[in-house]
């Protein structure tokens, strides 16, 4: 099923979560165990992240430096298809601008369509660690809104090659990212909202938010979106804090606020185990409140760790 249909047809908040593909050289057993730990809570779909190439520098025996291009987590398409067929749960692979040309994107979408995958999340993606600003591939997209347009073109059978004949349409449901506290690179929240509206006007079917730790930020964000004419479903994404240092690291990485009440409890923790427990309890509190406010879906960023996500799901579903 398409995510948009899942949400529309449900009369209650549904459950979904996000996973990372395994690192190159590893098998998928741990990922499968994570899924199996959560199946009893009836996840309606599972997101699979996509990671661009990275630049790695190595020092050679002669003292010179060699730059290598590597992709640490390949396999998004295969993992997505295997999960959908192994467990019968719809998957949402991420499709990103960064590191991919338009042709590579089209080929990825063709593969997904052949495998019966009907949902994607269209993202610009992160800039390289070595870059100050995001730089698209020479034949790639600079903005997620342009990526959405390419996927919408395929809905109408419009491929990159204008000479192709009898083209098969690909009817993907398209999700995009929203930022309740604004994207880290956005000039201000108003500009960020305009960029989000461009993605929706380009054809996005729903929005999933970046993590947040103050639910009021999400409620205010939804209100601003509706006032701006954005009518598609807006799914809250939450992340249970798992280590003590995340309370100081996450705000800098994602440009988000940590409520002082929460930060104070984390600072009291003697170790990561205690911080993990506090983080899980906070996420459960968030989840209960979001469900009470009729959020369409509760989307949990697991990063491949199921025990705290399981605790959240057990407490609210």
Over the stretch 203-241, which tens digit does the pLDDT of each residue have?
999 999 999 999 999 999 999 999 999 999 999 999 999
Q: Which parts of the chain have pLDDT scores under 50?
A: none
Q: How far is CA 203 from CA 91, 150, 152, 297, in A?
A: 20, 10, 6, 20
Contacts of 126 (CB under 8 A, 6+ apart): 52, 98, 134
Rounded to 10 deg, the angle between the 260-268 and 272-292 helix axes is: 150
CA distance 211 to 213: 7
Q: Residue 68's pLDDT is what?
A: 66
Helix ranges (DSSP H) in the chain: 3-9, 29-38, 76-87, 102-114, 144-155, 189-202, 215-227, 246-254, 260-268, 272-292, 307-316
Write the burial class of residue 131 (CB in 10 Å: 0-12 exposed, 13-18 middle, 19+ buried). exposed
pTM of the entire structure? Answer: 0.94
CB atoms within 10 A of CB 275: 22
Q: Residue 64's pLDDT is what?
A: 73
8 A C-beta contact, residue 202 and residue 144: no
Q: Residue 168's pLDDT is what?
A: 94
How many alpha carbons fall within 13 Å on the CB side of residue 281? Answer: 11
Q: Residue 249's pLDDT is what?
A: 94
Q: Residue 71's pLDDT is what?
A: 73
Report DSSP letters for 230-249, one per residue: --S-EEEEE----STTHHHH
Q: Residue 57's pLDDT is what?
A: 65
């Amino acid at each position: 099923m398409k995510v948009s249909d899942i949400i529309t047809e449900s009369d209650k908040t549904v459950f979904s979560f996000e996973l990372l593909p395994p690192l190159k050289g590893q098998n998928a057993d741990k990922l499968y165990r994570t899924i199996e730990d959560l199946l009893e809570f009836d996840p309606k779909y599972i997101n699979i992240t996509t990671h661009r190439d990275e630049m790695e520098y190595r020092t050679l025996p002669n003292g010179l430096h060699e730059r290598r291009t590597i992709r640490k987590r390949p396999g998004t398409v295969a993992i997505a298809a295997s999960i959908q067929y192994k467990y019968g749960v719809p998957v949402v692979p991420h499709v990103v601008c960064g590191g991919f040309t338009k042709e590579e994107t089209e080929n990825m979408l063709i593969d997904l369509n052949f495998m019966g995958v009907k949902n994607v999340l269209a993202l610009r993606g992160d800039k390289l660690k070595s870059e100050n600003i995001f730089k698209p591939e020479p034949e790639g997209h600079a903005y997620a809104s342009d990526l959405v347009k390419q996927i919408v073109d395929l809905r109408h059978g419009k491929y990159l090659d204008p000479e192709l004949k009898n083209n098969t349409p690909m009817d993907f449901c398209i999700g995009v990212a929203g930022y309740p506290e604004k994207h880290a690179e956005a000039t201000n929240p108003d500009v960020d909202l305009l960029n989000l509206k461009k993605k929706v006007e380009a054809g996005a079917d729903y929005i999933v938010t970046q993590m947040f730790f103050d639910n009021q930020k999400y409620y205010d964000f939804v209100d601003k979106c509706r006032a701006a004419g954005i009518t598609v479903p807006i799914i809250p994404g939450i992340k249970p804090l798992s280590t003590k240092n995340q309370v100081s690291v996450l705000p800098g990485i994602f440009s988000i606020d940590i409520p002082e009440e929460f930060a104070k409890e984390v600072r009291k923790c003697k170790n990561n185990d205690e911080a993990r427990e506090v983080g899980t309890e906070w996420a459960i509190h968030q989840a209960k409140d979001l469900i009470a406010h009729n959020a369409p879906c509760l989307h949990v960023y697991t990063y491949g760790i199921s025990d705290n996500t399981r605790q959240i799901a057990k407490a609210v579903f």
